[in-house]
Amino acid sequence: MATIRIDNVKKRFGQTEVIHGVDIDINDGEFIVIVGPSGCGKSTLLRMVAGLETVTSGEVQIHGKRVNELEPMDRNIAMVFQNYALYPHMSVFDNMAYGLKIAGTAKAEIAERVDKAAQMLQLGDYLDRKPRQLSGGQRQRVAMGRAIVRKPAVFLFDEPLSNLDAKLRVQMRLEIKALQRDLGITSLYVTHDQVEAMTLADRMVVMNAGVAEQIGAPMDVYQDPRTMFVGGFIGSPPMNFLQLRQASDDSMRLPPQIADRIEKAEGPVTVGVRPEHLSLDANGEARFSGRLRYVEPLGAETLVHLVTEGGEQITVRQDGIAQLPEAGSQCVMSSAAEHICLFGKDGARID
């Protein structure tokens, strides 16, 4: 049970600054997911919380105590690594018992705690096996078990599912979520997969180029992206972006309340709208036109790709299997005014 506070944390490798001051406050028992593209600094941030990287400036607190100078072992944390990092020469039992043995826990208690964790993770039959005799999913479970038995204050996950196949990933995702709920241990989870982030997180942190662009509950972040990056990164297919040359050109007709806001803004404005908020009709207040390029029917949904006169791509998501015009024909799309997001020249929302 612990809170975590990351206070204006920066990281420099030599001359290059990779994390430019991140603030996150994590409540007791909360599941926080840090999501972002590769190289955005999310793993580095996690490793600083773990104590595997030094903090260049700023402060990391666990349960109200500054831990910047503490060794990993003194922070009362457990970490699950992307490649599982199991000890290859030890049995599953010894892997899970390793931390307890070092801490000098009594043998009987070690056996009891490992057995309990093994039961929870359905590893009971594999305790004598070596990691190389296990499947990917089982190894992942052993890594989780090793974290659980120590009863840490904080769980840290570094892309734990990226080495699994797609089906197993979905299953393990649910298991991790359920486990975290049951144990109620504060968790920090790093991933590049936005679906993982959306499904697991109580709150998510979207990182880009060493900056936390937005922190919030998954649905808030989805519905109300504060920057163009967040709108483009969260959601699949991503948000459509259209550069606005003038308030109303031929390919875009915006309602007056939006046009007003654009008038007031300085510099060029980008209009963002999610694919599922567009439909191929003229019923909404904000209208766009484009030429249909191709259609991706996926069964449950149909993705329609269009291109505007200015050469910008637009994707429209239709439910089910839709009746559509021929490729190459000119189409009208529209959306309700409240679904339109406006971004200023620095990529931040203007409302």
Partner 1 sequence: MEKRVIFKGWLLPLLLLTPQVVVTAVFFFWPAGQAVWQSLFIPDPFGLKSQFVGLGNFEFLLRDPFYRASFVTTAVFSLLVTAVSMGVALYLAVLADRLIKGAGTYRTLLIWPYAVAPAVAGVLWLFMFNTRVGVVSWYLGLLGYDWNHVLNGGEAMGLVVVASAWGRISYNFLFFLAGLQAIPRSVIEAAAIDGAHFWTRFRTIVFPLLSPVTFFLLVVNIVYAFFETFGVIHTITSGGPQQSTTILVYKVYADGFVGQDLGSSAAQSVILLIVVGILTVIQFKFIERRVHY
Residue numbers at the binding site for partner 1 (CB under 8 A): 50-52, 71-73, 77-79, 81-83, 85-89, 98-99, 102-103, 146, 150
Closest separation between CB of residue 62 and partner 1, Å? 13
**Which is nearer to partner 1, 55 or 286 (by Cβ)?**
55
Closest separation between CB of residue 48 and partner 1, Å? 13
**Which is nearer to partner 1, 132 or 264 (by Cβ)?**
132
Closest separation between CB of residue 87 and partner 1, Å? 6
Of 224, 181, 221, 197, nearest to 339 by C-alpha is 224
Number of alpha helices (DSSP H) and beta strands (DSSP E) in the chain: 9, 18
Task: Annotate 16-57 with DSSP letters as a single string.
Answer: EEEEEEEEEEE-TT-EEEEE--TTSSHHHHHHHHHTSS--SE
Q: What is the 3-state secondary structure (H, E, C) of 76-129?
A: CEEEECCCCCCCCCCCHHHHHHHHHHHCCCCHHHHHHHHHHHHHHCCCHHHCCC
**Which is nearer to partner 1, 98 or 111 (by Cβ)?**
98
**Which is nearer to partner 1, 73 or 174 (by Cβ)?**
73
**Which is nearer to partner 1, 18 or 52 (by Cβ)?**
52
Q: Which two tokens mark 308? A: 């505007």
**Which is nearer to partner 1, 18 or 350 (by Cβ)?**
18
d(C-alpha 165, C-alpha 105), whole Å: 36
Edge-to-edge order in the sheet of strand 341-343? 240-244, 269-273, 341-343
Closest separation between CB of residue 99 and partner 1, Å? 4
Closest separation between CB of residue 74 and partner 1, Å? 9
Closest separation between CB of residue 46 and partner 1, Å? 12
